Amino acid sequence: MKWVPFLMLFISLNLFSQEGFQLTENKKMVIPFRLINNLIFIPVFVNGVELTFLLDSGVSETLLFSLDDKQVDFNHVEKMKFSGLGGSVEIEGLKAVKNHISIGKNFTDSSHTIFIILNEDFNFSSHVGIPVNGIIGYHFFRNHPVKIDYVSHKITVLTEKNLSREKKNYAKEPITIELNKPYIIADVEQYNEQKTSKMLLDLGNSDAVWLFPSLIPGFEYNRPNIEDYLGRGFNGDIYGKRSRIRNLYLSDFKIQKPLVAMPDEHSIQHLNLVPGRKGSIGSETLRRFTIIFDYPNREFYLKKNSNFNEPFQFNMSGIDVKHDGMSWHQDLVKVQNETKNSSFATANENRQVYTAEGEFKYKFVLKPEYSVAGIRKGSPAEIAGIRKGDKIMLINGKKAGDLTLEKINNLLKSEEGKIVTFEIIRGGQPMKFTFTLEDPIPYQENL
């Protein structure tokens, strides 16, 4: 599965310490979250304004890159530069200190530092399908154990007393916290030899596993593999290969035939890697467990959930779909005994325009628009004729505007052999393409 661009983030900064979040009441607190493309999104109040943040254990500091139409007041702001994963070297931003951050009813930090990204291209909302304002990482986890239940879509911030009761049914593994990020030792079995590997536990990476070939002596790519666009970091696009490996061993669990992304050497040249790191374990793997991060005690707990035996699926079409915003669409709906016209609506409501013969009425409804952001060379969709920039109108006969981005992506990775039809607009001309989903990287035993 192609992970959402812009999400793999790394910062190399000399930063002042923060006290981090505190439970204002000495009891556990539950935070509901949205899960989209394996990624966790939570509501966060920044200086009294509600925003949406990605929860990402793979970032050391809190980042803000979009406010939409909202206004947040910041004090004590200074300019700075960021560096990280990608092609070029630096981007400009701001550092704002002494911000009041609250999550849920009683999880707050009254002196929080936020790093503001000034590059408009950094906003990844169009690849998620909802407005996303920022990313929060280390300081969310720093002071309290945090349980993540991927099935119920709930995060629970625990007290030590809660943890002592909770952890009895979990496997436990030690972790290290280095550069404010959690690392675990796992065994990677590409063919039939298990290699002990230091891996970042990365909630902000929607792939199953990342491996860094240039850091693994004697590394050989599994076959088959494909060249692919892997995402976007601070400094540009990330390219590399995708394949499958035989097994990943995490604690007492064997995870079979996971998909693996392997960025090329150019993409990681500016990455400040901790000693011994070989890659990352992402959310496509972690969502198969209920997990507990315990940063204070340097421990990680996990137990498998109902997702555990699901196959590792891949976007077999080769199409990277992006959300282009909302527009008004005219729908004809049947009504009962209604003749009165109405013209009132807010920006997020339906607009009734007129009623025809008391049986039907037209409504203007805000619906999403989608286009092709990129396409993998040699993929079924590329061979069929679909191109980057095509505006997507219908998918398998359904209006694209009636589908969420997540439903579209789920369709494109649903099952090998499935026939998919896209009706698009290119240069003002309607066009129709049909292709069959085909897995380009099925696992094969290497003889």
Residues 312-365: pLDDT tens digits? 988 899 998 988 776 655 554 555 554 444 433 444 444 444 444 456 555 556
How many beta carbons lie within 10 A of that of residue 298, not counting itself? Answer: 11
Contact in structure between 115 and 11 (CB atoms under 8 Å): yes
**Rounded to whole angstroms, how far apart are CA atoms 7 and 210?**
13
pTM, 2 dp: 0.84
CATH for the 22-141 domain, from 3.90.650.10, 1.10.3720.10, 3.30.2130.30, 2.40.70.10: 2.40.70.10
- Establish whether domains 22-141 and 163-304 are of one fold: yes
What SS3 class is residue 379?
coil
Residues 129-171: pLDDT tens digits? 788 889 999 999 999 999 999 999 999 999 888 888 888 889 9
Contact in structure between 442 and 224 (CB atoms under 8 Å): yes
What pLDDT is recorded for position 357? 47
* CATH architecture under which domain 163-304 falls: Beta Barrel (2.40)
Residues 194-246: pLDDT tens digits? 999 999 999 999 999 999 988 888 888 888 988 888 876 665 678 889 999 99
* CATH architecture under which domain 319-329+367-436 falls: Roll (2.30)
CA distance to 17, 239, 332, 335, 359, per residue, from 339 (Å): 64, 58, 14, 9, 8
**Rounded to whole angstroms, how far apart are CA atoms 117 and 75?**
16
Residues 49-73: b if buried by 16+ CB within 10 A, e if exposed: eebbbbbbbbbbbbbbbbeeeeebe
How many beta carbons lie within 10 A of that of residue 209, not counting itself? Answer: 27
Taking alpha carbons only, the member of 3, 63, 44 closest to residue 204 is: 3
Q: Which of 61-65, 124-128, 180-184, 221-225 has the lowest mean pLDDT?
A: 124-128
Q: Are strands 391-395 and 49-55 parallel, antiparallel or unpaired?
A: unpaired
Domain positions in the chain: 22-141, 163-304, 319-329+367-436
What pLDDT is recorded for position 411? 93
What SS3 class is residue 158?
coil
Give percent of the chain above pLDDT 90: 50
Q: Which residues pair with 279 in a beta bridge?
A: 199, 211
